[in-house]
Amino acid sequence: MRTGERVPSAWPQSVPGLRAALLLGWLALLCGCAQLPPRAELLPQHSLAPATEGAIAERVVPALAAHPGLSGFRLVSDGTEAYALRTFSAQAATRSLDIQTYIWHADLTGKLLARQALMAADRGVHVRILADDLDARAKNAGLAALDAHPLIEVRLYNPMASRSGKLAAAGEFSAGFKRLNHRMHNKSWIADGRIALVGGRNLGNEYFGASDGKNFVDLDVLMAGPVVGEVAANFDRFWNSPSNYPISQLSPEAGSEAALAKLRTVLEASQAELAGSGYETILHEDPHVQALLEGGTRLHWSAHWRFVSDDPLKAQLPLEQRSDVVRTLLPAIGDARQRLLVISPYFVPGERGTAELTGAAARGVDVRVLTNSLAANDVAAVHGGYSRYRDDLLEGGVKLWELKPSGEPAKFSLAGSSGSSLHTKAMIIDGDAVFVGSYNLDPRSTSLNCEQGVLVENPVLAAELSTLFERQSGPQRAWAVTLDGGELRWNDGTKSWTHEPESTASQRTLAWLTRILPVESQL
């Protein structure tokens, strides 16, 4: 409602407003019963020293000796390889397993990975799990049960006081939106202090090519060497931050031996669910997985890299100081002289980002961006924010591609799912630097959510990521977006559209509303 407009007094029209007011009041009363207690006093914890024995150390230590002072990197674009790396590293760990995640689904791969963490703890491995509570609250019982194991500890980032119920959650959000709007989007998987996986993947079927619906096109980086120490130190920084709570403090009654025994039964059943499934077949057939089993995983080594992560208390910092990731990327973008390739599924560059990208294009840099089309985007509202800047980007010389969806049900195959949505967050600068992380080029990643990533100088990695970009932006998988006489055009070489191709009326309506409403800071 615009300022100065009167609310009609007729009863039928005022009922919705009355109901909304009553609902908000009721939710406020509801959340008043659930107050987050003061965080318990906890002694600082630090990662265990890197393992010197076991399969991981046996592979990594000789490689480090052959590349003194360097760190090794491998792009992991294949979903089954990404799952297998997590599984095998958990199986091979002898000392420690640290897991940091935004989402951990209770689906097949989510349960299988939880089973591997539990089995590692049974062998004497120290397991720490740090999960964002926006998703973890719905899995509170399972996470609390894991925490009952003497060698597993679970902490939750920016948790809610209530531990179940949608209405209770709505009540807390209605009164505590400013606090709860800040989330931890980081993803790290660190085994034995020797190897780490970071990138865009959460833990769940659609991130590992195991969904029978839509799967995500995503990317991790497998790392070894000194960079792993920085990832581990950052995990410790988040683990010890007052931004998170031990789940044992929030749900002391849920973490019992009986609950753990019940969870074991559920997790063991996931192994039977995998057996004979289509996903198990693909795991056995995938050449990347076979190379991993045979010790053939190859790393590319570099002396020039930087791991960067936002502060776990990011929300308390002045707005211009919140994003350490942006402060790392902006100079790199400014230094680009030949080529700048950006992959961002949720792409809302804003005025600053648009100016940086078009400024690079004006310097003669070949600037290309791959993002989701409206039809492929799982958050249509974000697409509305992006569309505000699409014309300016194209007029400024930036080349745009939007990933296609697929109308057919996804099928397991080594080529990936037939139904897909972009989830990769990456950048290529000239021919020798790549960035891979959790950071989307949008306001939420910049100012609200904690993000991280790694910037590496290595021409082989840059060439590999360029190949991925070319594959995903090709006409079979994406539409090229252009301006023709001031009008937008989508083209795949066989057909041209003058409107958002393959999108639904509801998607277009939501995107349009987001474009005109003042909500960009939340996208």
Domain end point (choices 264, 293, 322) = 293
CA-closest candidate to residue 99, choices 225, 239, 209: 239
Instruction: Name the one residue in this structure whose structure tokens are 């590349």.
Output: 67
Query: Which of 132, 133, 310, 430 does the annotation list as catalytic?
Result: 430
CATH number at residue 110: 3.30.870.10
d(CA 122, CA 476): 47
Task: Please report whether residue 480 resides in a domain.
Answer: yes
Residue 286 and residue 370 in one domain = no
Predicted confidence band at 21 (pLDDT cuts at 50, 70, 90)?
Answer: very low
* 68 and 183 housed in the same domain: yes
Within-domain flag for 238: yes
456 band by pLDDT with thresholds 50, 70 and 90: very high
315 and 427 belong to one structural domain = yes
Inside any domain, residue 12 = no
User: Among 105, 139, 149, 187, which one carries the catalytic annotation?
Assistant: 187
Whether 322 and 381 map to the same domain: the answer is yes
* 63 and 150 fall within a common domain: yes
Domain match, 281 and 375 both: no
Answer yes or no: 187 catalytic.
yes
Residue 185 known to be catalytic = yes
Rounded-to-integer distance, Cα 45 and Cα 125, Å: 16
**pLDDT average, residue stretch 289-308:** 86
Residue tagged active-site, from 111, 185, 288, 383: 185
- Cβ contacts of 165 within 8 Å, gap of 6 or more: none
**Domain presence at residue 250:** yes
C-beta separation of 169 from 79 below 8 A: no
Same domain, 373 and 267: no
Residue 33 lies in a domain: no
Same domain assignment for residues 229 and 347: no
357 and 487 together in one domain = yes
User: Domain containing 329: what range?
Assistant: 304-522
Catalytic residue among 78, 192, 220, 442, which? 192
pLDDT tens by residue, 310-333: 999 999 999 989 999 999 999 999
What pLDDT, on a 0 to 100 scale, did the predictor assign at position 191?
Answer: 97
More confident residue, 395 or 12: 395
Report yes or no on 19 lying in a domain: no
Report the number of distinct structural domains present in the chain. Answer: 2
In angstroms, rounded to a whole number, what is the distance separating the alpha carbons of residues 89 and 82?
11
Please identify, among 274, 293, 312, the residue that sits at the C-terminal boundary of a domain. Answer: 293
Contacts of residue 9, Cβ cutoff 8 Å, sequence gap at least 6: none
Q: Please determine, for residue 8, whether its predicted confidence score (pLDDT) is greater than 60.
A: no
Give the predicted TM-score (pTM) of the model. 0.91
Could you give the percent of the chain with pLDDT greater than 70? 90
Same domain, 118 and 266: yes
In a domain, 2, yes or no: no
Say how far apart CA 264 and CA 121 lie, in whole Å.
13
25 domain residue, yes or no: no
Q: How far is the C-alpha of 326 from the C-alpha of 486, rounded, in Å?
A: 32
Q: How much is the average pLDDT of 142-156?
A: 98
Active-site residue, from 111, 182, 300, 423: 423
285 and 308 part of one domain: no
Where does a domain end: 252, 268, 293? 293
